[in-house]
Amino acid sequence: MCGVIGYAGHRPAVPLIMDGLRSLEYRGYDSAGIAFLQNRKLDVVRAEGKLANLSAMLVTRDVSHATIGIGHTRWATHGVPAVRNAHPHKSNDGTIAVIHNGIIENYQELKAMLLERGYVFYSETDTEVLTNLIAEGRKCNDSLPDALRWAVSQAAGAYALVVLSEEEPDALYGARLSSPLIMGVGTGENFVASDVPAFLPHTRNVVFLEDGEYFRITAHSWEVRRVCDNERVAKTVQTVQWDVQSAQKGGFKHFMLKEIFEQPKVLTDCLAGRLISPDLPVRLPELDNRPIPGRIRIVACGTSYNAGAWGAPLLEAWAGIPVSVEIASEFRYRDPLLQPDEAVMVISQSGETADTLASLRLARERGAMVIGICNVVGSSIAREADAVIFTQAGPEISVASTKAMCSQMALLVLLALYYGQKKGTLDVGVWREACDALRALPTLLEGVLPEMRNRAAELAKSYAQAKSFFFLGRGPCFPLALEGALKLKELSYIHAEGYASGEMKHGPIALIDPDFPTLAIALDDALFPKVKSNIEEVQARRGRVLAIVNPGRELRADDVWTVPAAWGPLSAFFVLPALQLFSYETADYLGKDVDQPRNLAKSVTVE
């Protein structure tokens, strides 16, 4: 996820773009850059790190005559955070500058084609490829918009891009596919950005671009056309009523809620370029030149640990690789016996968690290959792991992790499929079903989230006064129960324990009474009858039960919450948001600080 902004108007463009970037910084903050035209000449300034570094560089420049420009704040997906990878990227001839949010899945193929035609690349990004693709398109097309249309028709993946060119010094062009791009319509000035807050201080009149559309704006005009046939699209100007702060949260009350609702997009991004079709194997080029591990040790903390515990059985079942899962703060202070063919897989959203990083270092010292599953490009774990696979979930602002776990689980599914295919242990039928089901997930999830939230809110009110809670599950639902309990305690401060439901009778059941409710996850799988019996054991002690079930499964409980089923283990992608929403709504109902719970930190860089 990155933030883009473009301005064409009558005022000095650079300070206005910098202000816009400040309100987009939540979308990415590892580097930033700006391009503008003065005397018809294109200039680009870029800096690594937060926006303040870019501001400092601009202080020494006279940029006061620029009234058109584009700006970008980056969240790295291809290439480490560095000036060379920061946007805008310039075409080889220096006349075109492009900013981009998204992922071009076939950029390697396009880059190879451009290299053959003599182009030179100065970054590792997909965006520089796109920029030169437009330049190449210009050679065989009559105009810049035609070159843009040609270039985006070559590109597979997701993009929201904005183009500034010396050829048309009064205009900005841009296009979108699966990444947001919104125009702001002003008087004598027009804007475009990934999100409304970037231009909200200047105009509330907006035009939402749809997939497959491209735009042209100047100071005094704007128009939208279709990429496929160049037909003009009649768009309506809408007026937004948000204030800047709520706009940053996309109209959601909290970042956590926004991030829960981002999960369909997170799944799409995580699968992008990796799961292509049922006829092609999973692509994880990061691992192609590495040996297939004989065993895997997953090491992580918090929510990332729960994701690892959920994914481990899939690696065993599909790839035939024995997997154990450990808490990083334990692993690092043991004297772990690592087998020569054992890989250590560290999972971390931030890539900076001190215990996970120390475990990585210990594993490497002992000669183990370390595979990192990480969200933050350029983080310590991403830099130090032997191979790193990025979850591509975008910045997670809420302290309580939600969308990161969804992306980690999706990546673990891909890893199990990848190794299973490489080793030949994966049944073809399983592969086809998994592939179809994964591809269908984002749309299905998007469709059910609003109703799921309503049900969560209703249930939250009814359970919010509880002092303690059990979360029970078996098999793949046990790690989900751990995560459900973790979310409830960290957000609402209600004591909550996640348990393997079969363990209840070995002690914990002594706690059950009418005031100690249990949330039981009883999905439509082989373990359903067992979980059902465990629920009955709780009910026999007069315990109140809220059961999460799949359609068609009969169960007697105080409250039954039906969530959709998906193929095989993928139903977890519906249970996870249900648990997140239940905790969110409980905490919000109790008036807790949802985005910043007491005593917690987003990134724990101390022991």
CA neighbours closer than 13 Å in the CB half-sphere of residue 69: 32
The least distance separating ligand G6P from the CB of residue 352, rounded to whole angstroms, comes to: 7
Geometric angle at alpha carbon 298, from 297 and 299, rounded to 5°: 115
Nearer to ligand G6P, 24 or 382 (CB): 382
Residue type for 473, please? G
Strand 342-348 with 369-374, pairing: parallel
* Alpha-carbon distance values, 597 to 398, 584, 593 (Å): 9, 11, 5
Taking the C-alpha atoms of residue 114 and residue 14, their distance in angstroms, rounded to an integer, is 32
Burial class (CB in 10 A: 0-12, 13-18, 19+), 129: buried
Which DSSP symbol is given to 128? H
The least distance separating ligand G6P from the CB of residue 236, rounded to whole angstroms, comes to: 40
394 close to 76: Cβ distance less than 8 angstroms: no
Nearer to ligand G6P, 375 or 518 (CB): 375
190 close to 9: Cβ distance less than 8 angstroms: yes
The least distance separating ligand G6P from the CB of residue 164, rounded to whole angstroms, comes to: 36
Taking the C-alpha atoms of residue 148 and residue 168, their distance in angstroms, rounded to an integer, is 13
Taking the C-alpha atoms of residue 407 and residue 391, their distance in angstroms, rounded to an integer, is 6
Q: Which of 2, 270, 301, 406 is catalytic?
A: 2
527 close to 474: Cβ distance less than 8 angstroms: yes
Residue type for 230, please? N
Q: Is 602 annotated in the active site?
A: yes
Taking the C-alpha atoms of residue 328 and residue 323, their distance in angstroms, rounded to an integer, is 15
* Alpha-carbon distance values, 94 to 101, 147, 173, 443 (Å): 21, 16, 17, 40
Query: Which residue sits closest to ligand G6P, CB atoms considered?
Result: 302
Q: Which of 50, 235, 422, 602 is catalytic?
A: 602
The least distance separating ligand G6P from the CB of residue 301, rounded to whole angstroms, comes to: 4
- Token pair 């997953």 is found at 298
The least distance separating ligand G6P from the CB of residue 323, rounded to whole angstroms, comes to: 18
Query: Would residue 97 be called left, alpha or beta, if left means φ above 0 and alpha means ψ between -120 and 50 degrees?
Result: beta
Nearer to ligand G6P, 272 or 373 (CB): 373
Nearer to ligand G6P, 44 or 399 (CB): 399
The least distance separating ligand G6P from the CB of residue 399, rounded to whole angstroms, comes to: 5
Strand 205-208 with 172-177, pairing: unpaired
Nearer to ligand G6P, 237 or 600 (CB): 600
The least distance separating ligand G6P from the CB of residue 202, rounded to whole angstroms, comes to: 36
Nearer to ligand G6P, 304 or 571 (CB): 304
**Nearest CA to 239 among 198, 194, 216, 208?**
208
Could you tell me which residues come within 8 angstroms of residue 548 by beta carbon, excluding any fewer than 6 positions away?
519, 520, 521, 522, 523, 561, 563, 575, 578, 579
The least distance separating ligand G6P from the CB of residue 606, rounded to whole angstroms, comes to: 11
Q: Is 50 annotated in the active site?
A: no
Nearer to ligand G6P, 194 or 402 (CB): 402
- Applying CB under 6 A, the residues found at the interface with ligand G6P are 301-304, 348-350, 353, 356, 399-401, 600, 602-604
The least distance separating ligand G6P from the CB of residue 569, rounded to whole angstroms, comes to: 21
Nearer to ligand G6P, 318 or 584 (CB): 584
**Nearest CA to 598 among 590, 606, 156, 27?**
590
Nearer to ligand G6P, 196 or 260 (CB): 260
**H-state helical runs in 189-332:** 244-248, 255-261, 263-271, 302-319, 328-331
Nearer to ligand G6P, 17 or 404 (CB): 404
Taking the C-alpha atoms of residue 525 and residue 603, their distance in angstroms, rounded to an integer, is 36
Taking the C-alpha atoms of residue 306 and residue 470, their distance in angstroms, rounded to an integer, is 16
Strand 545-549 with 518-522, pairing: parallel
The least distance separating ligand G6P from the CB of residue 360, rounded to whole angstroms, comes to: 11
Token pair recorded at residue 105: 């899945």
Q: What is the 3-state secondary structure (H, E, C) of 48-67?
A: ECCHHHHHHHHHCCCCCCCC
Show which residues are catalytic. Answer: 2, 602
